[in-house]
Amino acid sequence: MIKKEILKETENLMKKAVEATKREFSEIRTGKANPKMVEGLMVNYYGTPTPLKQIATITIPDAKLIIIQPWDVNSIESIQRAILSSNLGFNPIIDGKTIKIPVPPLSEERRQELIKITKNMLEEGKISLRTVRREAIEKIRNLEKEKKISEDERYKLEEEVQKLIDKYTQELEKLFEEKKKELESR
């Protein structure tokens, strides 16, 4: 019973690490407008840092434009400042009660820079997976020390944990390759 719990918990933690990396990848812009590019931006809303998606509607009328319509018109300038201070390279335009963000095509230099950033995110994801593996193996070895499992069971469990990390590392690599292709395509 304990063995299944350890494996299940380990797999859940690994899934969360992959999801977190996937979320980070989605925030990297590829030259096509996407609400995920800006929805996580923190806006100083009446002195409180608030995610943009909680104070405005974000729409994408076409592949080269993001329109942000704040629910509170008084927050337009705060939203504009948040966009300008982010490292997205956008130049927001206030148009009455909305903010329009033209999404410029990426230069080759910026594409390569974004690929490097994505590669670093991939490495962070792998580090998270290895941390989960290390903690799981520690738990397994403690069970053996406490004589709750045999040496053979410990080897089998460690093998299962290794299979999990191989599976999720492969998933991260696949996500990275997809994002890299997306960034390289024009």
Ordered by start, the domain boundaries in the chain are: 2-26+107-184, 35-102
| pLDDT in 10s for each residue of the chain, 186 residues | 677 888 899 999 999 999 999 888 877 767 678 888 888 888 888 888 888 889 999 999 988 889 999 998 888 888 998 888 887 778 888 888 899 998 877 788 878 888 898 999 999 999 999 999 999 999 999 988 998 888 899 999 999 999 999 999 999 999 999 999 888 875
Question: In 10 A of CB 25, how many CB atoms?
Answer: 22
Q: What is the pTM of this model?
A: 0.70
Retrieve residue 129's tokens.
């997976």
Alpha helices in 53-107, H assignment, sequence order: 76-85
The whole-angstrom separation of Cα 60 and Cα 66 is 5
Amino acid identity of 34? N
CA 142, 148, 154, 156 torsion-angle sign: negative
Of the CATH numbers 1.10.132.20, 3.40.190.10, 3.30.70.260, 3.40.50.720, which one belongs to the domain with range 2-26+107-184?
A: 1.10.132.20
35-102: CATH topology is Gyrase A; domain 2 (3.30.1360)
